[in-house]
Amino acid sequence: MSKCAFGKDQVEYLGNIVSKHGVSADLTKLEAIAPWHIPTSVKALRGFLGLTGYYQKFIPQFGKIVSPLTVLTKKDNFKWSTEATVAFNNLKQAMLSPQLLALPDFNKPFVIESDALRHGIGVMLQQEGGPITFTSKALCLRNQALSAYEREMLAIIHTVQKWQSYLVGNHFIIQTDHHSLKYFFRGKSSYPFSTKVDHQATWF
């Protein structure tokens, strides 16, 4: 019975607050981020990134914000700089104002909104304009050298693999600002695109 709660309008679960409004980060868990001092070692930096990384699904463009810090965790690469200080402060600010996430409705289509920049990708899964979760990933040097078309496709592949529990067996919409991706399933950019494809994906 100590594990049970009745008559509650919200429930705390694994550092998240679940209510009729959706899922939010437990702000009491994030209070420790505000007074966090600039890390002076790789161990201290990893501790900070470990805490913030757990809540990255609430933060748009998390990978882009944190990229200058993750580079410092590589072997013999901890050299703090002005860029790292800016990234550290931006990450703290983002973590103290996390997004409210909507609860998924599997009777409605999901929408993937992806964007691939030179150094990373950022994607949002949503329904009816409400974000369900965010994901982002820094790109390695090899992938940074890819064309915009290839980076955008890489973002979509990463997204479908990561969120397959939401997408497999369901209709979903992919929104991208890279026009040529609309013709991916045709293989020829000169042909008009059909929204009825094998993977039940509609491209905008």
Per-residue pLDDT at 192: 36
Give the DSSP letter of residue 141. Answer: H
Per-residue pLDDT at 189: 44
Provide CB contacts within 8 A for 189, sequence distance 6+.
180, 183
- Whether the Cβ atoms of residue 203 and residue 181 lie closer than 8 Å to each other: yes
Beta-sheet strands, E only, within the chain:
10-13, 16-19, 22-25, 110-116, 120-127, 130-138, 172-175, 201-203
Residue 52 has pLDDT above 80, yes or no: yes
d(CA 159, CA 112): 8
Q: What is the mean pLDDT of residues 138-162?
A: 81
Per-residue pLDDT at 202: 43
Task: Give residue-wise pLDDT tens across range 74-127.
Answer: 888 899 999 999 999 999 999 998 999 999 999 999 998 887 777 778 889 999
Per-residue pLDDT at 185: 53
Residue 14 buriedness (CB in 10 A; 0-12 / 13-18 / 19+) = exposed
Report the chain's mean pLDDT, rounded to a whole number.
82
Per-residue pLDDT at 126: 92
Per-residue pLDDT at 193: 34
Q: What is the mean pLDDT of residues 66-75?
A: 88
Between 29 and 115, the higher pLDDT residue: 29
| pLDDT band (50, 70, 90) for residue 201 | very low
| pLDDT band (50, 70, 90) for residue 187 | low
- Whether the Cβ atoms of residue 106 and residue 170 lie closer than 8 Å to each other: yes
Give the DSSP letter of residue 41. Answer: S
Between 200 and 38, the higher pLDDT residue: 38
Per-residue pLDDT at 197: 35
d(CA 38, CA 110): 39
Q: What is the mean pLDDT of residues 128-151?
A: 82
